[in-house]
Amino acid sequence: MNRRVGYRAFARRLAVALSCVAVAAGSAQSAECMRGINLAGAEFGSLGQEYGTGYIYPSDKTIAYFKNKGFTGVRLPFLWERLQPKLYDKFNTAELKRLRATVKAIRSAGMQVVLDPHNYGRYEDQLIGSDGVPQSAFADFWRRLAATFASQDGVLFGLMNEPYGISAEDWLSAANSAISAIRQTGADNLILVPGTAWTGAHSWSGGDYGTPNANVMTGVTDPANNYAFEVHQYLDVDFSGKNDECSRAADAVKAITDMGDWLAAQGRRGFLGEFAVPTMPACQQSLKDMVAVVESRPDVWLGWSYWAAGDWWKPSEPLNIQPTDTGDRPQMQTLQGYFADRKICGG
């Protein structure tokens, strides 16, 4: 081994490890270089459908599979309306029991969990901030949820999945109201704050949705100063994740690189909450490139969570990495190799 190269590699690993420790030491709750998976299912179906028929939480078997593969966290989507069927009212007892049991199962497996109301900035299709769903209703929801999981180790609060159709200014106001409500409960959990426009990294500093997130979201106010910005980034032609190709992989990877630079300039942290590629061999290198960009910057990125898996995903869904009867899917094989080569984030 070249001694100089060996020394540099050792120094880099040491710096990464210390960076992760510093992030954790800065607050009681931290993602600590999370390598996560979105376990979908609880956000499935239509309101009114029965549990086990219209929607499902991840099974212990699925949780164990991803734990054993090397994942350290789960982003857990669910529906606001199922948990709180009436605004400003108490949570549904049975649904809260399911959510708490799933969080306990994930934590018992040694993984962190991101609570993810998967509502796109809406409640029953009405936008937060509208007459039907005032910002105070969103704050009330988070006050109740935060009180339930206040300061629990390894439980992170994802404010909202992919708000869209709302200006960055109005979304910032709603987010700050929710953050204030969370902190008033005494909860010190790490909060993941998205932007508007589906919180795309590629459009964070520009786009056609009004004032860019980059110009507005610097106004986040957190009394505990324990938050990170959550962005999503797909690699297909329109960055939506709906197309079975990865034709804009280079642009997507650059978007994450640019987002990291923005975070560093602002002295903030980020989390890549969703990204994915289909099964084609040409897309597997792009998947590794995306992960590598995030893990090479532990000074700004807390980690990532792949979209998606879950007990009810069909094998025909091109992005999912729920195992099939014949074994691991190609994307899992790609990520597994990455895990084996890099024992720590950034290593």
At position 93, the amino acid (one-letter code) is T
Please identify which of the residues 32, 81, 274, 295 carries the catalytic annotation: 274
Place of tokens 């197309």: 243
Q: For this structure, is 274 an active site residue?
A: yes
Beta bridge partners of 272: 231, 304
Burial class (CB in 10 A: 0-12, 13-18, 19+), 220: middle
User: What does the chain come to in residues?
Assistant: 347
Helix (H) or strand (E) run with residue 22 in it: helix 3-25
Give the integer Cα–Cα distance in Å for 128 and 121. Answer: 6
Q: For this structure, is 317 an active site residue?
A: no
Helix (H) or strand (E) run with residue 110 in it: none
Strands (E), 196-300: 227-232, 270-274
Name the DSSP class of 51: B
Strands (E), 62-169: 73-78, 112-117, 122-123, 126-127, 155-158
Residues 209 and 203 sit within 8 Å (Cβ to Cβ): yes
Which residue in 79, 84, 171 sits closest to 130, CA to CA? 171
Give the SS3 label for residue 200: strand
Please identify which of the residues 81, 162, 230, 295 carries the catalytic annotation: 162
Burial class (CB in 10 A: 0-12, 13-18, 19+), 340: exposed
CA distances from 292 to 148, 289, 296, 297 (A): 35, 5, 6, 9
Give the integer Cα–Cα distance in Å for 207 and 199. Answer: 11
Instruction: Name the residues annotated as catalytic.
Output: 162, 274
